[in-house]
């Protein structure tokens, strides 16, 4: 379910924390979003891959990477990342097609708005088949090169330059590729899912990767579902994995003290709105009490209550994303922004009129979502993923 064919276009969503009018929210918080357009070779005449930049949902500019994407990949893998604590506004975009368009791929390093360069794997990593996942914690960037199974770290230095770290090679227990990727907030481990029903943890100390531990998920054993997206609570104690589901979200969760035991939650049935279908990505509120789940194939976003390994439906109705159902719009990655709670999601659109979209949502009472603002950029075809941060 998490494999996305290479004809999808993009739509993105970001939600702002707190109640109040749109005018107040805009004055208090500025949200920056970068979408990885994931342009493959020949997909758009004379155009390399690029990052589309939005400010408060309004498209502002496009940064060319001088390399190529693949026009698809795994939804569990975030293909864009933003790090703002290393002396610059660092943007990292996965170019899984690389300068040749046929792999092994690279990471475009941008010190906004300047392209610094293209970073290839120091260990022969290849992401051409299914993409390159990216995530950072502090000054460490982790990349999953899905085709080769290479999990690699980089250090983020001055001017956003990437220094060499370490690597481990890992495939799923059933032979699958890395899909979902997240780093614990305390920086001590990386959580992974694979596209074969298994999941794993990799120890992390600074930029040094260590032992890989792997398990089969309960949702795979009992429901034949495969975990995709990953979220980790603020205390780095609990890990949540999005197992999809055809009517309501199914979430597996585990305590890192007993990682081999997952608790399956759901299907979660929202109080109203279209039920989540084919969820692949999700994100936690900053305080760890609300989980926001994107229904890939129904274009609905759900909020749920979280307590330890328990994930339960709340009293909120699911939010339908504008345009879903009219042009084959699908949901992609999700980001958490803002104080307290916030959410950003990327939605892909295929076949009719090429475009990238950013949807701003607000989170109000009871962690319920409401529509806020939509922005668009019309010359972007295949993006699956975006990254957001806020300035208050």
Q: What is the pLDDT of residues 223-269, one digit of tens each?
A: 999 999 999 999 999 999 999 877 889 999 999 999 999 999 999 99
172 versus 337: the higher-pLDDT residue is: 172
In the block, residue with structure tokens 């739509």: 11
326: confidence class by pLDDT, cuts 50, 70, 90: low
Q: Which secondary-structure segment (H or E) carries 293?
A: strand 290-295
Domains of the chain as residue ranges with CATH: 3-391 (2.130.10.10)
- Percent of the chain, pLDDT > 90? 53
Question: Tell me: the pLDDT tens digits for 142-195?
Answer: 999 999 999 999 999 999 999 999 999 999 999 999 999 999 999 999 999 999
What lies within 8 Å, CB to CB, of 76 at 6+ separation is 2, 133, 179, 180, 181, 193, 227, 228, 229, 230, 242, 280, 281
* 74 vs 91: CA distance, rounded Å: 20
Task: Report cis status (omega within 30 of 0) of the bond before 113.
Answer: yes
The region of weakest confidence among 4-13, 296-305, 335-344, 377-386 is 4-13
Q: How long, in residues, is the chain?
A: 392
What CA–CA distance (Å, rounded) separates 136 from 155?
9
CA 295 to chain centre: 13
Going through 243-384 in order, the beta strands assigned E by DSSP cover 249-255, 263-268, 279-284, 290-295, 300-307, 310-313, 319-320, 329-335, 343-349, 356-363, 369-377
Round to whole Å and give the CA distance between 332 and 348.
Answer: 6
Of residues 293 and 343, the one with the higher pLDDT is 293
pLDDT of residue 392: 63
CB 110 within 8 A of CB 51: yes
What whole-number distance in Å separates Cα of residue 200 and Cα of residue 194? 8
**DSSP H helical segments within 276-328, as ranges?**
none
pLDDT at 289 over 80: yes
pLDDT value at residue 355: 65
> Would the pLDDT of 105 be above 60?
yes
For residue 177, what are the contacts with CB-CB under 8 A and spacing of at least 6? 74, 129, 130, 146, 147, 149, 171, 194, 195
Residues in contact with 224: Cβ distance below 8 Å, sequence separation at least 6, in sequence order: 197
pTM, two decimal places: 0.91
> Is residue 340 over pLDDT 80?
no
HSE, CB side, 13 Å, CA atoms: give it for residue 101: 9
Whether 251 and 291 have beta carbons less than 8 Å apart is answered as yes
Tell me how far apart the alpha carbons of residues 68 and 51 are, in angstroms, rounded to a whole number.
11
DSSP state of 25: H
pLDDT, averaged across the chain: 83
Q: How far apart are CA 230 and CA 283, in angstroms?
A: 8
Note the pLDDT of residue 214. 98
Q: What's the pLDDT at 323?
A: 61
Rg (CA), the chain: 19
Does 341 have pLDDT greater than 80? no
Contact call for residues 207 and 254 (beta carbons, < 8 A):
no
Distances (CA, A) of 204 to 260, 298, 363: 18, 36, 33
Provide mean pLDDT across the span 18-40. 64
Of the chain, the percentage scoring pLDDT greater than 70 comes to 80
d(C-alpha 121, C-alpha 140), whole Å: 15
Is residue 226 classed as helix, strand or coil in its secondary structure?
coil
Give the span between the Cα atoms of 244 and 387, in whole angstroms: 22
Scan for tokens 């208050």, then name that residue.
Answer: 392
DSSP summary character for residue 161: P
Instruction: Phi first, then psi: give them for residue 192, nearest 5 degrees.
Output: -130, 150
């Amino acid at each position: 379910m998490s494999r996305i064919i290479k004809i999808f276009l993009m739509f993105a969503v970001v939600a702002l924390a707190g109640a109040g009018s749109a005018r107040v929210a805009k004055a208090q918080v500025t949200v920056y979003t970068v979408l990885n357009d994931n342009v493959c070779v020949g997909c758009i005449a004379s155009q390399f891959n690029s990052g589309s930049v939005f400010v408060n949902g309004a498209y502002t500019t496009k940064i060319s990477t001088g390399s190529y994407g693949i026009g698809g990949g795994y939804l569990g893998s975030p293909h864009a990342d933003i790090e703002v604590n290393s002396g610059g506004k660092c943007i990292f975009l996965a170019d899984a097609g690389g300068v040749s368009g046929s792999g092994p791929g690279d990471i475009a390093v941008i010190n906004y708005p300047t392209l610094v360069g293209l970073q290839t794997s120091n260990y022969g990593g290849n992401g051409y088949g299914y993409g390159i996942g990216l995530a950072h914690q502090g000054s460490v960037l982790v990349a999953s090169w899905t085709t080769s199974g290479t999990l690699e770290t980089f250090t983020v230095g001055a001017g956003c330059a990437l220094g060499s770290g370490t690597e481990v090679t890992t495939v799923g227990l059933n032979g699958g590729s890395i899909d979902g990727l997240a780093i614990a907030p305390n920086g001590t481990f990386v959580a992974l899912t694979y596209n074969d029903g298994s999941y794993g943890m990799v120890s992390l100390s600074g930029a040094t990767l260590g032992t890989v531990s792997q398990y089969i998920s309960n949702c795979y054993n009992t429901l034949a579902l495969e975990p995709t997206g990953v979220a980790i609570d603020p205390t780095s104690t609990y890990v949540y994995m999005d197992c999809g589901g055809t009517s309501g979200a199914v979430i597996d969760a585990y305590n890192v003290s007993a990682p081999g035991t997952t608790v399956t939650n759901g299907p979660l049935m929202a109080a109203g709105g279209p039920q989540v279908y084919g969820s692949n990505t999700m994100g936690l509120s900053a305080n760890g009490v609300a989980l926001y789940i994107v229904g890939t194939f129904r274009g609905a976003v759900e909020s749920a209550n979280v307590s330890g390994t328990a994930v339960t439906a709340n009293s909120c109705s699911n939010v339908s994303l504008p345009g879903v159902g009219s042009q084959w719009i699908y949901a992609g990655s999700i980001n958490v922004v803002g104080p307290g709670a916030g959410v950003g999601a990327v939605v892909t659109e295929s076949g009719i009129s090429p475009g990238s979209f950013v949807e701003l949502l607000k989170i109000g009472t009871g962690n319920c979502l409401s529509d806020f603002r939509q922005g668009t950029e019309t010359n972007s075809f295949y993006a699956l993923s975006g990254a957001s941060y806020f300035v208050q």
